[in-house]
Structures are given as structure tokens and as C-alpha cells.
Amino acid sequence: MLIFITRRVASMVLTMIAVSMLLFAALEVNIENVAVKVLGPYSSLEQREIWLERNGYFDPIYVRYARWLGDFAVGDFGESIRFKTEVSEVMVPRLINTAILALCVFAVVIPVALVLGVLSGMREGSKLDRSISVTSIVTTSVPEFASAPLLSVVFVFWLGLLPGTSGMAAGFDPIQLILPAAVLIIYDFGYVTRMTRASMAEVMTTNYIRTAVLKGLPYRRVIVRHALRNALIAPFTVIMLQVNWLLSGVIVVEYFFAYKGFGALLLEASLNQDIYLIEACAMVAVFVAVMTQALADIGYTYLNPRIRFS
């Protein structure tokens, strides 16, 4: 276990360093643009030079990288040039907002997808299975930037039931969360459903299920006691990996509904070449990616007795 954790942490640190170097190198392509973004398009060349000079942009790239890395290691994420304040001050509330959105999404996706997946995998090829499968393909095929306008047209403009933006201007308002969460749920639940279905269908063809049916157990008991336990191991991994996907999947939705979350922040930072903000966001993203992967692996080992006891 200790070796496992050490290896994971080491690989996480390596990945973080690689990603941060990649980003630094990518922004090097036209570094002068940073001054234009800060000072505006009508600033003179001298003003830009002075700004770049004062903020240390003329140092060689490795010096700037080393400086950033040193600061980052002691918890100083630098200053955002877009928001003109500490990066952590901007990022933390945004992360919390996205976490709330993600919680709402998972609270619906997990039960719905698992139930539908189990129902359709239980009797492969049945009418129910076919309709659930086709529904999940259809909903996964509608991209977020298409389902968001479609849902807004119906619920905001025609029915007038929900607010069209989720800016949370007047404090936190759960009603404003419904549309962004719905868009993410629609796009996301199909994938988890299909994975659960595949896993359930595979379990249903195994010998111990046949034995259980043949020895005359009630069908309900076969499903609940015998099949579900093994069928739900694979979806657990899939759901953990969805956390990582959601972190970038929220970009379009947050942009569309003007929700002040992590994805919108990341988009704004990249559009403005706000290097320290991008770096900090990227580190969070990598951290989440590696952590969810590790949790998925640990959970898989724990849930699967064949691995646990070997």
C-alpha cells in the first residue's frame, strides 16, 4: 500500500512538472501579447516594453520557470494578471462553485445511470434494453453547446420556468443550478449507463448466475444478491473517472450559463494568456486526474475480493 501511494505521488509530481513546463513553453510563443492583454490594444510599444521589463518577462524562460516553481512549491501561486489579485483568491471560490455543480450532477447521474444500466443489462436484447440503449446513445450525441440552447429555448423562453443565466448575481440561488446541471446530466448519464449495462450483461452470462437460476432462487434474489455485487465494480471505476472529465466538461456549460465556476475561469485565463492562473488551474486539474485515478484503483482493489485477498 505504501509503495502504491509513493508511486502515485511520484508520478503525480512528475506529471505536474511536465504539464507546467509544457504550458510555460506554449505561452512563450508570443509573450509580447501578454502586455497587449494587460495594457490594452492602444498602448504604445514603449509602455509594453516597460511593463514586460518590470514584471520580469525578459528573463530567460528557465529563470522564470524556476522562480514560478519555487513559489509554487511553498504555496504561492503568483498573481493573476487578468483579475489583478492573488491566484488562490480567485480560484478557490470558483472551485467550490464547480464542486457544487458537480455534486448536483453526480447526485442524479449515479442513481439514474446505475438503475437504467442494471435494468438494461439484466435481459440483454429485450425491448427495455433496446430502448434504454438507444436513448443513452441519443443523449450522448447531443453536444453540450447544442443541448444548452435547446433547453433554454424550451424552459426559459417558451415555458418561462427557469432563469436563462446562472450568474448568481444576487447570492446563491439553487434554481439557477437546474439548467447547467441538466445539460451535464443529459450528456453524461448515457456513458455511465452503457458501461453499467456492459458490465451487467457480462455478469449475467457467468456460470454462477446460471447456477443460481437453476437451483431455483427467485429472480429478484439472483439479481440483488448475486449479480449486482460483481456488476457494480466496473461502473465504480467509470464514475470515478467521470470526475476528471467533468472538470473540463463544465467549460462550455459554465461559459454558456455565465456560471462562475472553475471551467469558466480556465477558459477566461486561457483566452487572456494569464500564465499563473492557467498554471494553478492546470495543477488542480492534474491533481484531480491523478487522485481520481488512484481512488478508482484503490476502490477497484477493495471491491474485488479476488484481488483483495491475493
Partner 1 sequence: MTDATANQGAGGRAPRVTPSRLSRVVAGIALLRESTVGMVGVGLVLLWITMALLATLNSLLVEAGVLQLGFVFPPNATLAPLMPPMSDFVVRAGATVNELPVEQICSEITSGENQGSYSCGTFWLGTDHLGRDIWSRIFYGSQTVLTWAPIATFCAYAVGIPMGLAAGYRGGWVDDFLSFVANVILSFPVLVLFVLFITLVGASAINIVVAITFASAPGIMRIVRGLTLDLRTREYVFAAQTRGEPTWWILFVEILPNARGPLIVDSMLRLGYVIITIGVLGFLGLGLPPPDPDWGGMINETRQMAMSFPWMVIFPCLAISSLVLGFNLLADGLREISLRD
Q: Rg of the chain over CA atoms, in angstroms?
A: 24
What sections of the chain are H helices per DSSP? 2-27, 32-39, 45-54, 61-73, 87-122, 127-141, 144-151, 178-204, 207-214, 219-221, 228-231, 233-257, 262-271, 275-303, 305-308
Residue 185, interface with partner 1 (CB under 8 A)?
A: no
Out of 10, 18, 103, 128, the only residue in the binding site for partner 1 (CB under 8 A) is: 18
Name, in order, each residue with C-beta under 8 angstroms of 87's C-beta and a sequence gap of 6 or more.
77, 78, 79, 80, 276, 277, 280
- Find out whether 27 and 274 touch, Cβ atoms under 8 Å: no
Residue whose CB is less far from partner 1, 22 or 96: 22
Query: Quick one: 222 or 290, whose CB is closer to partner 1?
Result: 290
By CB under 8 A, residue 203 contacts partner 1? no
Q: Binder to partner 1 among 97, 120, 133, 237 (CB under 8 A)?
A: 133
| Pair 287, 179: CB distance under 8 Å | no
- By three-state DSSP, how is residue 80 classified? strand
Choice from 13, 150, 175, 307 touching partner 1 (CB under 8 A): 150
We find the least distance from the C-beta atom of residue 273 to partner 1, in angstroms, to be 7
- Three cell numbers, residue 31: 509573450
- Contact flag: residue 149 with partner 1 (CB under 8 A): yes
- Binding marks (x or -) toward partner 1, 261..290, rule CB under 8 A? --x--xx--xx-x----x--xx--xx--xx
Q: How many CB atoms lie within 10 A of CB 94?
A: 21
Task: Give residues in contact with partner 1 (CB under 8 A).
Answer: 11, 14-15, 18-19, 22-23, 26-27, 29-30, 133-134, 137-138, 140-147, 149-150, 152-153, 156-158, 164, 244, 247-248, 251-252, 255-256, 263, 266-267, 270-271, 273, 278, 281-282, 285-286, 289-290
